[in-house]
Amino acid sequence: MRLVYQREANTAMLELYGHDEPFASAATVPVAAPHGSGGMLLDFDEAGRLLTVAFLSAREQLSPEVLAEAQTEPWSGGAADRGA
């Protein structure tokens, strides 16, 4: 599990699978955040397992301490990359 942050896009992705494992998202579910503070995209595989959570307004949804600890390399894929 790891958190990857794209500062310029203000987006973070929590990868719940091993990032060296193949990534195959079968369904993406958008989730609205309370009070209009961004939203999230949940990616699931064919078996219904949650693979990733993309935070679309990361600075508004996650603490500065959490973002400071996040990796800043590109992530493996998922809803945020597909523009879902």
CA 81 and chain centroid, separation = 10
- As a whole number, mean pLDDT of residues 23-49 equals 88
pLDDT band at 58 (very low <50, low <70, confident <90, very high): very high
Residue 79, in any domain of the structure: no
Domain that holds residue 53: 2-74
Collect all residues with Cβ–Cβ distance below 8 Å to 49 and sequence separation of at least 6. Answer: 17
- Residue 37 pLDDT: 75
Better-predicted residue by pLDDT, 4 or 24: 4
Helix (H, G, I), strand (E, B) or coil at 37: coil
CA 54 and chain centroid, separation = 2
Residue 65, in any domain of the structure: yes
Number of domains making up the chain:
1
> What tokens does 30 get?
């958008």
Is residue 55 classed exposed, middle or buried when 0-12, 13-18 and 19+ CB atoms within 10 A define those classes?
A: buried
Residue 82, in any domain of the structure: no
pTM of the model: 0.79
